[in-house]
Amino acid sequence: MNLVLIFISAAIVNNFVLAYFLGICPFVGVSKKLSSAISMGMAVTFVMTISAAVTWLIYHLILVPFNVVILEYVAFILVIASLVQLVEMFIRKVSKPLYDTLGIYLPLITTNCAILGLALFAVLREYDFIESLIYGVGAGAGFTLALVIMAGIREELELANIPKPFQGAGITMIVAASLALAFMGFAGLISI
């Protein structure tokens, strides 16, 4: 039951994009088309889940026993950067079509704050291994959800008559504001 709560909390109530402002760069940059939004969401969810597991292992099996928690940030970011490279090489080797859909988004993910944020939050909340994993999946699902909703709205906005200064990033932020407002309706659904 606790795992379900962690999943829902990460995906909807404390949505990474709309409540924690993590992963805003891809949220603005890759939300123009629905198809690329879905691919980006999948790539992020994939990397998030793996990195949640790997950073948990690094933190609890290396940093804590050797008493070098001060290296947390350096270790996490290095692990994430190399992980993204590995995943990219692996996908290129295994599945060409998958690489063509996700390929260009993978390098961008290294500097996606949502991935590092996830690792940091999992440590702060003292999740165990399984909980961290579920937290990763949930956060990825939440990111995908926000990105897909946004892309859907922006495809419709193409037809709207937006004042010139607000075209692009301006209107995206304002739409995000109303989305965040809607997602706040979930607050209090569960407290975790």
Partner 1 sequence: MAKKQVSLSQDFMKGIWAENAVLVSLLGLCPTLAVTNSAVNGIAMGLATTFVLLSSSIMISLLRNLIPYQVRIAGYIVIIATFVTVADRFLAAFYPDISSALGPYVPLIVVNCLILGRQEAFSSKNTVGRSFIDGAGMGAGFIMVLFVLGSIRELLGSGSILNVQLLGEWFDPWMFMILPPGAFLTLGLLIGLANWINEKREQA
**Residues of the shown chain interacting with partner 1 in the complex, contacts defined by CB under 8 A:** 18-25, 28-29, 70-74, 77-78, 81-82, 110-113, 115-117, 120-121, 124, 163-166, 169-174, 176-178, 180-181, 184
Q: Are 143 and 114 in contact (CB under 8 A)?
A: yes
Residue among 53 and 120 whose Cβ is closer to partner 1: 120
Residue among 34 and 77 whose Cβ is closer to partner 1: 77
d(CA 90, CA 69): 30
Nearest distance in Å: CB 38, partner 1: 22
Nearest distance in Å: CB 14, partner 1: 10
Nearest distance in Å: CB 123, partner 1: 9
Residue among 64 and 177 whose Cβ is closer to partner 1: 177
Residue among 130 and 184 whose Cβ is closer to partner 1: 184
d(CA 3, CA 14): 15
Question: What are the Cα distances from residue 159, in Å, to 38, 154, 167?
Answer: 21, 9, 12
Nearest distance in Å: CB 39, partner 1: 20
Nearest distance in Å: CB 125, partner 1: 10
d(CA 39, CA 65): 38
C-beta pairs of 82-87 under 8 Å, 24+ apart in sequence = 83/47, 83/50, 83/51, 83/54, 84/47, 84/109, 84/110, 87/46, 87/47, 87/50
Residue among 21 and 99 whose Cβ is closer to partner 1: 21
The residue among 113, 106, 76 whose CA lies nearest residue 89 is 106
